[in-house]
Structures are given as structure tokens and as C-alpha cells.
Amino acid sequence: MNNCVFIIFSYLLLFIVTTTASQLVAVGEGGDDTNNGVMKKKCWDKERDALLLFKAPLQDNPIDTLSTWTEEDDECCKWSGVICSNPTGHVTGLDIKGYDLRGEISRSLLNLTYLDYLDLFYNSLHGTIPTFIGSLTRLRYLDLSYNNLNGTIPRSIGSLSELRHLNLGRNNLNGTIPTYIGSMTRLRHLDLSSNSLYGTIPPEFGNLTNLQQLNLRSDNGGFRVENIEWLSHLSHLEELYMDGISLSKQNHWVNVILSLPKLSILSLQGCELSQVMYPYSSFLNSSSSSIESLYLVNNSLTSSMYRWLFPLTSNKLHELSLSYNMLDGIPKYLGNLCSLETLYFDNNSAVVKFPDFLNNLSGCTSNALKRLSASYNQFTGSLSREIRKFSSLEHLDLSNNLLNGNIHDLFDTGISDTTPQEFAYMWPSQLKYLNLSSNNISGKVPDLSSNFANRSVIDLSSNSFSGPVPNVPSTLSSLNLSKNKFSGGISFICQIVDGFLSFLDLSHNSLSGKLPDCLWHFKHLEVLNLGHNNLFGRLPPSIGSLIELKVLYLYKNDFSGDLPLPLKNCTSLISLNLGANKFSGNVPVSIGENLTGLYVLILRSNNFFGTIPLQLCQLANLQILDLSLNNLHGTIPSCLSNLTRMVQPGFTQDAEYYRFITDRLYRVETYVDHAMIKWQGDEREFISTLKLLKIIDLSSNNLTGQMPYEITNLYDLIALNLSKNALSGEIPQKIGEIKNLLTLDLSRNRFSGRIPSSMSQMSLLNDLDLSFNNLSGRIPISTQLQSFQPSRYNGNARLCGPPLTKSCPGDEESKAPPLIGKSEGDEEDIDELWGWFYIGGGMGFATGFWIVCGTLLFNRRVRHAFFHFFDSFKDWVYVKVAVFITSFQKH
């Protein structure tokens, strides 16, 4: 008996020891890290393998944000985006938002059994939402928004009973909203916005009584609301977005909104609110509204809406948007909202007297209002001095109205006047944004160095201001004085010393003197435009301090000397235009070695000499290369075929529009890149179509040798000008393979031999000049080559054939063959055939027309999709046709 007890006791002791050891391993394996005396596990093998399997099918971004996820690294808890529990080492969360990952969501997530947080926001994931997602029952947070996911919302999501946060917005999900989402009663945040969902919003959503944020924005108008009463049960709701959902049949909706005691943000944009017959009942909850931000844009509202707007407003309201309606003013009670900081009243169609509009805001609202945007209205009258009561105003936009009278702060309103003496004292102190552009204001500008806040913006462009440029604030972020009549030097820029300046445009004035050597202040400058002035001298060495500069435009000045070596430090440049100056020396090899982001390189009309550096062939993004009108010699580099952007279709996405955001104004300023280009013999300024051009212009130099055959690999080139050089040999036989070529100028060289027959394939060619060479033989027959004037072939004594009057050897006059065998009966048969053709064609057109139009009339989804496609197609056609329009104007 004792032996049995001893054996049983031994087994029991062994079991306890083994179990204890296993538990210690589970907590402390893999290292000596502790957390309050408890051992931490660094990573579980099963979970590390699951993460690697999750990564495997995904295509990472160029920055390789998942580079830390490797088999060699056992400590997966230290991997980027991985969240682990300290005591156990289990993976509890994945926070990999904004990683730009491409691919599908892997089933390996199932092995992360402790996962309670999954954030895949703002990637490029595609495919459907996997059904296995419902097996991750510990999930409390799930964000799959801003991806390319499609299909329906899987029913299994309803199994995630612990979920507090569900965001599926900004995808391509379709089908109806599942009713079972209404059973996920622990949800605090629900976002299904901007998908292709349709159908009735389930009234079961009224069960989500813990919901704090609900976003159901519909971009396709697919949602319907049968009865909005379910909203009144969401007593914890703080934010509600129902943009694009028709509420036209929802009587008493205002009462429902007022029943939500915590609601602070309400967005009902494009909800057809003007069609609601009874927006509120005679009895309204007398408690004050809690709404802080209210957006009622695009509802065709008239001023009758102010009756039901009143109970929705209170002194808690900070932001109100009434744009894109038909309002003819505002009620006086909006002037008593003492916390209202932002008012949007753009694009209202009724005529409004602006002094009356301003007077109705002149209560305590005038002390709080910081931003008033009321552009594209029909405001009449003048900008009264009541504006001075708005002491907190930082941004005022009254563009595109019918205002007149004296100036206080206006732009693009057709004003023609001189600046008054008190000009600098007519705006509030600490102004952040002053825009008087696109008027006809003349006179001298007073001192601007005071009354402006940090990182402020001044735009006086496109006026008739004259005299020297005044003192400016030292804390500017943007200064645009272009297209005026300013004169004198530009040493004033050295006053801008606080390093905020990102945009400086002084072009199209009469400024003179040297560019001061104080550019080291401008480490954040991104656009520097000094073109079309009278500036002279060498570029200062401090130009190399502009390390964030994207656009340098010095066209048409009198700058001279070699390009400074520090220019190579400006590695962010995408557009470099130094044309029409007096620069000299060799074209720096550093342009090709260091400025690899360039899509525009214009050095035309200078005094550069030497050969074309081979390093320019490294500029893979280059679309415009203009070295014309210099003293360059040597041969054309054959490596120009390495200019990838001229080989492949498409253009640089950020080339034409360079955007930046001014501080705290949330107003996007646009710089439109532009350039003077020699196009079909004339110098023209290209602005909106510049990024569509792909041009090489090496004309008017001293280049010799043959035209390299490799240049025919530039399949997407649209203009090639090698004229006025000393090039010799034959024109490459495959030149016709550059089928997108619109203009080709090889005139005034020493080319010999025949015109390549492949040129007959160049169907888009509308400007050709081969004159004054040594070409011989027959001009190939094609629709294009015979359409040019004979002068385009002059100076080639041995060239023959149309359009030249000189016949080629062996040519005989052609005679038209007589018509034989045609009888009256044949004519009748032909007439009958054509008659049936017209009848059939008419019937076919009518049938096809009504099939298409009937579908568009009775199928709302097809109609929306068609017109969305049509708008996109129209924009695409516009940019493509723009180049052709300019080319045909000459003819």
C-alpha cells in the first residue's frame, strides 16, 4: 500500500512540476525582459509564421515598410505595425495603415487568435472581404477603409460581437446593408460611406444604442430611408453623416435630430431637404441644440428653411455650411451665434445686397467669425466698412460676385482703382491671407511688413501696381507679385528670414539688379519664378541652399556666367527653365547626375558651348529638352533613347500642377507650371497643356555627324527640331515609327539620300520642314507628305514628285480611263440599293437610339455610371485634343 501511495504521489509531483514549467515557458520564453516582475515572451512561432504568410502575397511600397518582417528576425513584436501583449507576447494588433500595400487579405490571420485590433486603412488591397474575418471573435477594432475591396459585406461580420469600431468606407462594396449589423450593439463607430451599396437603411440600426459616430454617406444615391425614427434611439450619437441620402419623405426629421442630446456634427449634404413637406412638427423640444458643425450643402434650399434651421443652431455652433443652395440672404439670428467661426455661403443663386448680408452678421458673430467664404454668388453693392467689425476674420473669399465701390479686401472682381493712402490699415491685424489678384488696381503698394500673422499669404498678381516692391513680412509663406509693373531691385527678399517661404513669384514685371546672395533663408522654398524681368549678373552660390525647390523659372532675363556648382544640390527640381538669358560655359554634367527628377529642362537662347553631356540621358522623367539657340557642337548622343518618358505613353502625374497648402487655412493654392516653347515656327506659352508635350529641340547650334538611329525609339515624342545645324548622312529609315510625331523640322542641315518611305506612316504629322538639305529621289506618297507646301522641300535640288512641280524620271502623265459598260438599268439598281440603305440605316439608328436612351431614362444606376464615364471621357478628350487645336490654328 505504501508503495502505491509513493508512486501516486511521485506522479502527482511530476505533473505539478511539468505544468508549472510549461506555464513559465509560456510566459518567459525567448529572453530576460520583464514587466513588473512577469517574464515577457518576444514572439510565438505560430504567430510569427502567420505574419510572414500574411506578408507573402502582398506587394510592398517602394519604401518597403514591411522590410522588418523577415524569417531571420524572431522578435516579431518589434516588427513595424505589430502590437503585442507585454505579459504573454501574443500578437494582439496590426496597425499597418497607410502602407500602400497591394494584394488580398490572407487567411493566415486566423492563426492570430488573440487579435483584437486590425487597422488596414489607406492601402491598395483588393478582392472581397474574406468570410473568415468573422472568426476573429476577439476583434474590437476593424478598419478596412480606403482600399479597393469589392463584393458584398460578408454575413460573418455579424459574429464579431466584441467589435467597437467598424470602418468599411471608401471601397467598392456593393449589395445591400446587412440587417445583422444592427445586432452588433457594442459598436461605437460605424462607417459604410462611399461604396456602391444600395437599398433601405435597416431600421435595426436603431438597436445600436452605444453608437457615437455613424457615417452612411452615399456617392451614388443608392440608399433609401423608409422611416428615420430609428435615429432617435441613438442617444449617444455624436457625429452623423448622411450625405447623398434622400430625406425628401422624412417629415419631422428636425424633431428626430433634436432628440439626439450629444450630437455635435451633422452633415446632410445633397439630401433633397427642400422637398420635405413638414420638416418639423408644431412642437419642438425646447432644449438647446448641441450641434457644433452643420453642413447643409446642395439641398436647393430657399430662405424658407430658416424657420427650421433656427432650433438647430445655438451658441455651441462653430461651423455652418449653406453653399450650393438658392438662398437670398441670411436671418439676423445667425448674427447672434457667439461661437460661429466659419460660415460657407458659396454658390447661392439669388441676388443679395452684400451690405445687408454683412449687417445681419454684425452681432456677436462678428467678434468670433474667422472664415467667411461667399464666392460665386450674386452679391451686389460695395464692401461696407462694417467689415472692420469682424476683428477675428482671417480669411475672406468674395470672388466672382457683382461687387463695386472702394477696396477693402477683394480679388478677381473686376475692380479698377488706385490704392488709397490708408490701404495698409484697412484689414484686421494678424491677417493670414490677402488676395487682390486679377483686378486692375494701380498705384504704389504701401509697407506690408506689419498686420500679418506668421506664415501668411500675399497675392497681388495680375494688377497694375507700380514702383518699387515695399517691405514685406518676415514670416511669409507665399508671395505672388507677378504680372504687375513693379520696378527696382529685389533685395527686399532678404527680409523674409523666418524660413517659412515656400512660394515666390515675381515674374512679368520690370525688376532689375542682381539676385541677392541670401537664399540660404529659403530652405523650404518650392517655387521660385523670376521670369520676364531685367535681372542680370551671376546666380549666387546660395542657390544651392534651395534643397526643396521644385520649380526654378528664370526665363527672359539677362543673367550671365557659368551655372553655379551648388545648383546640383537642388535635387528636388522637376522644372528648370533658364532660357533667354546670357548664361555661358559648358552644360553642367551635374544636371543629369543630380537633378534626376526633371521633366522640363530649358536652356534655349543662351551662350552655352561644348558638347551635349551624355549624363542628360539619365533624366528618365524628361519630357521637354530644349537646348536650341546656343553654341553647342559635336554629335547628338545616341543614348537619348534612354529618356524613358518619351518612349512610354503617359506623362508625369505631378508635372503640370504643383500644389501646396498654406498654414491653417486649409486653402489649396495651385501653381501651374508653364513654359515658352517654339512650336511650329512660333514661340508660344504652354500652360495647362505643358505636361502633354514631349519635345526635343536642339536647333540652331553647331551639331555635326549623323542623326542617331536610336532616336527613332522615342515612340511617344510629339515634336523634334534639329534644324539649323550641320548634321549629315541619311535620315534614319525607321523614323516613321515615331507615329505620334506632330512636328518634325530637319531643315538647313546637310542630310542626303532619300526621304525614308516609313515617313508615309506618320499620319499625325501636321508640320514638316525638310528644306535646304541634299535630299534626292521621289517624295514618298502619303496623305500627309503631299499636303505640305512645296517650300517645305525647297533647297533639295534632286528631290522630285508631288507636291513639287518637278517630275521624277520615268513619270508619265496619267489619263483617266473611259467609263464603259454603264447602262440606265444599272443606275436604277444602284438608286434602289441606296434607297434601301437609307431606310435600313434610319431604322437601325432609331432602334439603337431608343434602346440606349430608354436604359438611361429608366435605370438610375446605369444613368449615373454613364454620365460619370462621360465626364471622365470628356476631360480625357479635352487634354488630348488641346495639342491638336494649337497645331491646326496655323493652317
Give the position of cell 427650421. 308
CA–CA separation, 243 vs 224, rounded Å? 12
What is the average pLDDT score of the chain?
83
Residue 815 scores a pLDDT above 80: no
- Residue 282 pLDDT greater than 80, yes or no: no
Task: Report DSSP state, residue 59.
Answer: B
State the Cα–Cα distance between residues 95 and 753, nearest whole angstrom.
67
Checking if the pLDDT of 197 tops 50, the result is: yes
Give the pLDDT mean for 101-120.
94
pLDDT reported for residue 667: 39
Q: Does 754 score more than 50 pLDDT?
A: yes
Residues 6+ apart with CB under 8 A from 376: 346, 347, 399, 400, 401
Contacts of 628 (CB under 8 A, 6+ apart): 604, 605, 678, 697, 698, 699, 700, 701, 721
Residue with more model confidence, 885 or 619: 619
Per DSSP, the three-state class of 739 is coil
Q: pLDDT > 70: what percent of the chain?
A: 80
Nearest alpha-carbon partner for 174 in 195, 202, 191, 148? 195
* CA dist., res. 762 & res. 756, Å (int): 11
pLDDT attached to residue 857: 57
Question: What DSSP assignment string belongs to 547-570?
Answer: TT--EEE--SSEEEEPPPGGGGG-
Q: What angle do CA 359, 360, 363 make, to 5 degrees?
A: 90
For the segment 153-164, the average pLDDT, to the nearest whole number, is 94
Whether 380 shows a pLDDT value over 60: the answer reads yes
Q: Please, which residues bridge with residue 398 across strands? A: none
Residue 615 binned pLDDT confidence (cut-offs 50, 70, 90): very high
At which residue does the C-alpha cell 551639331 appear? Answer: 703
The mean pLDDT value for 494-523 works out to: 91
pLDDT per residue over 258-268, tens digit each? 999 999 999 99
813 half-sphere exposure, CB direction, 13 A CA radius: 2
Say what the pLDDT of residue 883 is: 44
C-alpha cell at 501: 517661404
pLDDT interval class at 671 (50, 70, 90): low
If DSSP codes are grouped into helix, strand and coil, which group holds residue 119?
A: strand
Q: Is the pLDDT of residue 530 over 80?
A: yes
Q: 177 near 218, Cβ under 8 Å? A: no
The answer to whether residue 38 scores a pLDDT higher than 50 is: no
At 420, the pLDDT band (50, 70, 90 cuts) reads low
DSSP lists the bridge partners of residue 529 as: 505, 553
**What is the pLDDT, as a whole number, of residue 434?**
84
Residues of the chain above pLDDT 90, percent: 60
Determine the pLDDT at residue 357. Answer: 92
Of 873 and 128, more confident: 128
Binned at pLDDT 50, 70 and 90, residue 284 comes out as low
Q: What pLDDT is attached to residue 654?
A: 44
Q: Band of the pLDDT at 16, cuts 50, 70, 90?
A: very low
Those residues with Cβ within 8 angstroms of residue 211's Cβ, 6 or more apart along the chain or in another chain: 187, 188, 189, 190, 205, 234, 236, 237
- Asked whether the predicted pLDDT for residue 57 surpasses 80, the reply is yes
Position 414 pLDDT exceeds 50 = yes
pTM of the model: 0.52
Interatomic CA distance for residues 175 and 62, integer angstroms: 35
Query: Which helix H or strand E contains 776, and what residues bound it?
Result: strand 774-778
CA distance 477 to 501: 4
Of 533, 541, 526, the residue nearest 559 (C-alpha): 533
Residue 803: is the preceding peptide bond cis (ω within 30°)?
A: yes
Output the nine-digit C-alpha cell for 83. Answer: 502590437
Euclidean distance between CA atoms 152 and 537, whole angstroms? 66
Query: How much is the average pLDDT of 138-144?
Result: 97
Within a 10 A sphere around the Cβ of 457, how many other Cβ atoms? Answer: 24
Question: Which of 543, 580, 546, 557 has the alpha carbon at shortest distance from 508?
Answer: 557
Task: Answer whether residue 696 shows pLDDT above 60.
Answer: yes
Say whether pLDDT at 550 is over 90: yes
Q: With cut-offs at 50, 70 and 90, classify the pLDDT of residue 681.
A: confident
Torsions phi, psi for 663 (to 5 deg): -65, 125
Q: 68-77, 100-109, 279-288, 404-413: which has the minimum mean pLDDT?
A: 404-413
Predicted local confidence at residue 418, as pLDDT = 72
Residue 727 above 80 pLDDT? yes
pLDDT of residue 704: 96
Count how many Cα atoms sit within 13 Å of the Cα of residue 685 in the half-sphere of its side chain.
8
| Cell 452612411 sits on residue | 216
pLDDT band with cut points at 50, 70 and 90 for residue 179? very high
Does pLDDT of 865 surpass 60?
Answer: no
Quick check: 183 and 159 in contact, CB under 8 A? Answer: no
Check pLDDT > 70 for residue 446: yes
